[in-house]
Amino acid sequence: LRETLSKRGVRVITGLGKYFRHIDKNRNGFLSQADFKEALKVFHLDIPDEDFKSLWLILDDSKSDKVDCGEFTRAVFGEMSEYRKAFVRKAYMKLDFNKTGSVPMVDIRKCYCAK
């Protein structure tokens, strides 16, 4: 049961991240309070109003009336372990053929097949 709940939790958080990107129409990485509340409802994460207000105060630490989606994800998942960071760096170095510091989509297509 614990494993099933854990898997569901990962799916919900992953799905929330995708949903956040979908509803972030202006692609600035921020969600309004109404958008955030709606996203929670879509994923059946109903939170009493009082608890939502407390959660919002924590998430909106800059008092901008917006939540940074990246900050939310990092708060839930935490920072990457050093092992994982090293793995990501190694993969990036392989993708960055020209050592320019950026990887064009054309280069990614040469190395990766999503099939």
| Tens place of pLDDT per residue across the chain (115 aa) | 344 435 667 777 778 778 888 887 777 888 888 888 888 888 787 888 899 888 888 888 778 888 887 777 777 677 778 998 899 889 888 888 778 888 888 888 877 776 7
Per-residue confidence (pLDDT) for residue 6, from 0 to 100: 56
Domain ranges of the chain: 1-77, 82-111
Per-residue confidence (pLDDT) for residue 2, from 0 to 100: 42
CB atoms within 10 A of CB 104: 13
Q: Which residues contact 63 (CB under 8 A, 6 or more apart)?
A: none
CA 23 to each of CA 28, 84, 91: distance values in angstroms, whole numbers, following the listed order: 11, 29, 30
Per-residue confidence (pLDDT) for residue 8, from 0 to 100: 63
Among the four given CATH numbers 1.10.150.80, 1.10.238.10, 3.40.47.10, 1.10.10.10, the one describing domain 1-77: 1.10.238.10
